[in-house]
Every structure is written in structure tokens, then in C-alpha cells.
Structure 1
Amino acid sequence: MNNLLLPLLLLLVVAVPLVMGTRKQKKQQAAQQEMQNSIAPGDRVMTTSGLYGTVADTSSETTIDIEIAPGVVTTWLRLAVREKVEPTVEGEENEGAAETEVADVESAPETSASSSEAPAQESISAEDKQTSGAQVAPPLEHGKK
């Protein structure tokens, strides 16, 4: 009896976590499959590569069309969709940012030197950006020396 107890106990110690791990993995795969099958036009999604977009068309069984910018629609495999993303409400987000900004301004001590220099630097950089325009780097030429 003692000869069988040790191998049986060792088998239980190894087998139980293995079985529990595969059950958890199967549940996660089933949830992912259900999410991918429930995608509908208008849903905000994130792909496995981190690209956010809005689902435009789901008529195919294997692919979906995702609008990544206004008027830019790309075709993706359904399996590339990682998760549905809840759209953020701009009013709530802006209110929180405005309250934080007001609190930071009120709590920050003012010094005469830094407060007089900061607006001048901001206006100069804004003017430079407007007058200079965007700078475009020349294309890379690979393989040429």
C-alpha cells in the first residue's frame, strides 16, 4: 500500500494543476470566440497590433472591415480583433481634465521671472510653427552609399 501511495500522490500533484490550467485556457478561448462572433457594425474594437477602429462591415465569415480614420476602411481577419472598446464620453473626460488643471494652477506658486518668461516662449514657438510649416525628411535610400 505504501508503495502505491507515493506515485499516486505525485500524480495528483502534477495532474490537478495541469487539468485546471487547461480548463481556464478553454474558457478564455470560448470567451474570445464569442466576442469575435458578436462583433457588429459600429462597434469600437482594438486589433492584436493595437490599432483602434470602428467596425464598418461584418458580412464575411472570416474578415471584417474596420474604419481606422474618417473615410479609411481596411479589411482584417476576425481573429485579429483582440477586444471591444467602450467609447469614451468627451464631456466626462474633459470635465475631469479641466478640474485637475484648475487645481494645479491654484496650487502652483508663481514667481515673477518664470511667469513672465513662459508666455513669451509659448508665443514664439507657436509663431514659429505657423510660419515655418511642416518639415518633411527626405526619403531613405537603402543600399546606396
Structure 2
Amino acid sequence: MELLPILLIFAVMMLPLLFLSNRQRKAQAKQQELVKQLGVGDEVRTHSGFYGLIVESYDDVVVLESEDGTQTKWARMAIAMSVDPIEPADGETLEGETAEDAQDSASSDQIPGVTVTDEDPREDGTARDR
């Protein structure tokens, strides 16, 4: 009879834990299903924030290609979500862009409020300590 209140308190404290673990289990199953459906050609984001295109797919490993063409191997469970392909900004083209085009666009980029000069900012021309 003296154990009944203690058991009731224990049961009341355990109920939220059971509901939370059930919710977490459902979310984990949903994530696993999403990852299983991904295939070659899908653009994804990993849990660490890496964006890439799936170029090869195996059971538990995928090969992701970054924008610069570098391919890296990732565990399939490292994929956080599928993302929409990135659209180029107005006036830019991603496909068929040559190295000269990329260099021209990089040199013509201007940051508001920043002036780029070839002059040494120090009057005496000495290098600063690093």
C-alpha cells in the first residue's frame, strides 16, 4: 500500500519519455526513407552543410560532386536533405562557362564601399608583421 504512490509518480514521470521516444523514432524512420529514395542526379545537403550532386550511389555510400567538379565519398546517412538545384544569378551562366569568363567575372566583382588598389596602404612601404 505504501508503494502505490511511488509507483504512480514513477509511471507519470515515464509517460512523457515514452511519447518523446516514439516521436523521435518516427522522425528517424522518415529521414531514412528520404535518404533511401535519393539517387544519381539529386542535389543534396549533408548534416555538415556540404552541398553536392549525387553522381554515384551504392548501398550505404554516395559520391557527391561539388560545383568545382571535385568528387567526394560520403556515408548515405550523412545526407540531411534534398535541395532544389541552385539557379544562377541574373546575367550569369553556370553551364558552358569558360575559364576566361570566370576570371573576367571574378575581376569585375565589386563590393560596395570597398576600393581595390595596387598601392601599399603603408606610407613607408614596409611589410607588416604577421
> TM-score, structure 1 length as denominator?
0.56
Q: Which one has more relative contact order, counting CA pairs under 8 Å at least 6 apart?
A: 2
Question: Tell me, what secondary structure is at the counterpart of 1:66?
Answer: strand
What do residues 46-72 of structure 1 show as CA deviations (whole Å, max 9, x unaligned)? 1122111111121x1011111112432
Distance 1:70 1:88, change over 3 A: closer
Q: Hey, what does 1:48 align to over in structure 2?
A: 47
Judging by fraction of residues, say which structure has more helix: 1
Q: Which residue in the other structure is 1:57 paired with?
A: 56
Find the aligned partners of 1:88 and 1:68 in 2 and give their Cα distance: 12
The equivalent residue for 1:138 is none
Q: CA separation in 2, counterparts of 1:89 and 1:16?
A: 47
Structure 2's unaligned 5+ residue stretches are 91-111, 120-130
Q: Does 1:128 align with 2:127?
A: no
Matches within 5 A, 1:19-98: 19-58=18-57, 60-90=58-88
Q: Which residues of structure 1 form unaligned runs of 5+? A: 95-117, 130-145
- Between structure 1 and structure 2, the one with the greater Rg is 1
**RMSD of the TM alignment (CA)?**
2.7
- Tell me the percent identity: 33
* TM-score normalised over the length of structure 2: 0.62
Q: Structure 1 runs of 4+ off > 2 angstroms?
A: 86-91
Aligned length: 98
